Amino acid sequence: MESSYTFLLLKVLGSLALLMFGMKSMSEALQKMAGPQLRHVLGAMTTNRFTGVLTGVFVTAAVQSSTATTLMTISFVSAGLLTLVQAISVIMGANIGTTVTAWIMSLGFSFNISDFVYPAFFIGIILIYMKRRRIIGDFLFGVAFLFLGLSTLKETGFSIVQDPEASQAITAFFARFNDPNFFNSALFLFIGTVLTLCVQSSAAIMAITMILCSTGVLSIDQGVMLVLGENVGTTITANIVALGANTAARRAALAHFSINIFGVVWVLLLLHPVVNTLCNFIGFERGMLPGDPGYATNLARISVVLASFHSAFNITNVAVLIWFLPALERFVSWLIKPQKVDEEEDSRLHFITSGIMKTPEISVLEAQKEIRSFAERMVRMYGMVRDLVEEKDDDKFKKLFERIEKYEQISDNMEYEIGKYLEQVSDAHLSDETKAKIRSMLRQISELESIGDSCYNLARTLSRYHGGKEHFTDEQAQSLGDLMALVGRSLELMKGLLDGRKEELDAGPSFVLEGEINQLRNQLKTQNIAAINDQKYSYAVATMYIDLINECEKLADYVINVVEARIGKAQPGSAD
């Protein structure tokens, strides 16, 4: 008997694993099909709180993952692409969009879904071997695994209940908590929260809840409290991810938690009228007992009641709170104070904070924003080098040189951390487009780190020059200033090209500027040789001067390499 129960337990766990894998595969396939477009929709359709909610609903329903939408939104806030109010509205919409999953689960209890599983597997494997339709095949496999897990879970649940001994023991255990008092309600709310946090899938816990209620083990009141707990548990994931992020991201995550906590509070005050109204509307009779005519048919409706409650809870919650978004923003801003950290000198990554997201396609967006931040740091570092040229005071020169040294260490750290993150992302099952993006991004960070090395080399040469007794002539200083100004412009153009959509980028000005830099470099080298022959300045000064010229041109080559990696192709003859 014990071995039989052990087998049933393993079957339940295996069914849950199938269900969770199916949800993950389906979500990732949807994001591969529409991921880039969804990112731009998220950034463009949040002009006010109402369009923000609709955007959240649309994106979450499309990718079947409220976690992906929430994490994406938090990253947009962290990058300054969304205001906190806009982000909160999107998160509200994500709460509504995730209720679609509950209806998919409910659908699985309405008819024998296993009849559709194996045809989906068959069609899916054909499409996977057709390269152009592989993502659709992945989606069908995800759907099939989801329904297979749900069907197996349902059958296992009913087989356990049909065992008189097991059914009596389980029913007796839960019967002790049937009384819908405060303690029992709080207990099931807590269980739902903890299970969702542990499993990291509200869909899996929703499936278990529907199984337990559909077999008569759990009452509708207990099932409703588990659903509420799932809504709370799924918000904790976003808060964990945001712990290492900046202030704006942590505020957005806290707002997500606050929204659902507020909803739980008002629902608990009106729980019985709300549940009774839904039961009456759907036709579920709460007082029906085993053995009564139509008992099995009545139990089959309970999954619809739970899905309806899930939708009603989130829709009503959003309908109430959408009018108080400014107040909610002030509340989370009051709770989470700005961090007193010098962002410029902070060597930590700002967007990659908690390892790999559940959705690798979206993870690429995080890395791209980190690369933009990397480029901004390198532009600032080059600005310090230009200041170093003009600095005459020894103490100020020393402090500025030390800052440049620190930035060189920061660039090494950023290349390593972003590269490690991209390597982990590339281990996942990705679309060809995303694989190409990762290759491009790896090249970008390598060239950005080389820019940091060049800036440091320039600073070291300037340090030798500063410590010497000889100085550049006015003509040398002017020529060096002109060259460094051109390199500075090329860095600014590079930074601009790292923003925006790839197909809208124009790299032409960068290549033109690269040609001007090469031409000026050649001209200055020729002039330098002539000046040495005419003994206008010493060979030591000429050597430092030409070292600076060569390093500036080398830095410009690294810049153009970043540009080529960003646009996805090399420009013949672009670098000298």
Q: Which fold has domain 360-567?
A: Methane Monooxygenase Hydroxylase; Chain G, domain 1 (1.20.58)
Q: Where would I find the H helices in 215-346?
A: 220-242, 247-269, 271-282, 295-300, 302-321, 325-335
Measured distance CA(109)–CA(151) in Å, rounded: 8
Q: CA angle, 247 as apex, 242 and 250 as ends, to 5°?
A: 30
How many CB atoms within 10 Å of residue 386? 17
Higher pLDDT: 182 or 353? It is 182
Burial (CB < 10 A; 0-12, 13-18, 19+), residue 172, is: exposed
Per-residue confidence band for 95, with pLDDT thresholds at 50, 70 and 90: confident
**What residues have CB less than 8 Å from 468, skipping those under 6 apart?**
540, 544
Domain spans of the chain? 10-335, 360-567
Residue-level pLDDT at 384: 93
Residue-level pLDDT at 473: 85
Sequence letter at residue 496: G
Residue 43 above 60 pLDDT?
no
End-to-end CA distance of the chain: 78
Q: Which residue has the tokens 């505020």?
A: 251
Residue-level pLDDT at 215: 75
- Comparing 232-241, 272-281, 316-325, 473-482, which segment has the lowest mean pLDDT? 232-241
Residue-level pLDDT at 60: 74
Mean pLDDT rounded to a whole number for the chain: 79
Specify the 3-state DSSP secondary structure of 371: helix
pLDDT digits (tens, 9 = 90+) for 217-229: 778 888 888 888 8
pLDDT digits (tens, 9 = 90+) for 314-361: 898 888 888 888 888 889 888 887 765 444 445 556 666 544 444 566
- Comparing 45-54, 101-110, 339-348, 439-448, which segment has the lowest mean pLDDT? 339-348
Residue 145 above 50 pLDDT?
yes
Specify the 3-state DSSP secondary structure of 64: coil
Q: What is the largest CA-CA distance in the chain?
A: 112
Q: Are 355 and 65 in contact (CB under 8 A)?
A: no
Q: Are 66 and 259 in contact (CB under 8 A)?
A: no
Burial (CB < 10 A; 0-12, 13-18, 19+), residue 155, is: middle
Distance of CA 209 to the CA centre of its chain: 28
Residue 488 above 90 pLDDT?
yes
Token pair for residue 336?
Answer: 């989470």
Per-residue confidence band for 445, with pLDDT thresholds at 50, 70 and 90: very high
Residue 416 above 70 pLDDT?
yes
Higher pLDDT: 543 or 29? It is 543
Residue-level pLDDT at 358: 47
Buried-state track 294-321, b at ≥16 Cβ within 10 A, e below 16: eeeebbebbbbbbbbbbbbbbeebbeeb
Measured distance CA(357)–CA(241) in Å, rounded: 9
Mean pLDDT of 46-56: 76
Sign of CA dihedral 199, 202, 207, 208: positive
Higher pLDDT: 251 or 239? It is 251
What one-character-per-residue DSSP string does 16-61 give?
HHHHHHHHHHHHHHHHHHHHHHHHHHHHHS-SSHHHHHHHHHHHHH
Residue-level pLDDT at 574: 42
Measured distance CA(213)–CA(221) in Å, rounded: 10
Token pair for residue 106?
Answer: 């409910």
Token pair for residue 524?
Answer: 């200055």
Measured distance CA(402)–CA(391) in Å, rounded: 14
Residue-level pLDDT at 531: 84
Residue 12 above 80 pLDDT?
no
Specify the 3-state DSSP secondary structure of 12: helix
Residue-level pLDDT at 5: 60
Sequence letter at residue 476: Q
Measured distance CA(520)–CA(486) in Å, rounded: 10
Q: Which of 33-37, 57-61, 337-341, 563-567 has the highest mean pLDDT?
A: 563-567
Residue-level pLDDT at 7: 72
Measured distance CA(171)–CA(149) in Å, rounded: 24
Q: In 3D, which of 183, 263, 266, 181 has the Cα closest to residue 230?
A: 263
Residue-level pLDDT at 340: 56
Per-residue confidence band for 68, with pLDDT thresholds at 50, 70 and 90: low
Residue 113 above 80 pLDDT?
no
Residue-level pLDDT at 355: 44
Residue-level pLDDT at 58: 76
Mean pLDDT of 207-220: 79
Residue 149 above 90 pLDDT?
no
Residue-level pLDDT at 447: 94
Residue-level pLDDT at 576: 45
Residue-level pLDDT at 382: 94
Token pair for residue 284?
Answer: 């579920």
pLDDT digits (tens, 9 = 90+) for 159-180: 665 566 655 666 676 677 777 6
What one-character-per-residue DSSP string does 171-188 give?
HHHHHTT-S--HHHHHHH
- Comparing 94-98, 305-309, 359-363, which segment has the lowest mean pLDDT? 359-363
Residue 46 above 60 pLDDT?
no
Mean pLDDT of 1-17: 69
Per-residue confidence band for 37, with pLDDT thresholds at 50, 70 and 90: low
- Radius of gyration, alpha carbons of the chain: 31
For residue 177, the 8-state DSSP code is: T
Residue-level pLDDT at 200: 66
Per-residue confidence band for 383, with pLDDT thresholds at 50, 70 and 90: very high
Sequence letter at residue 56: G
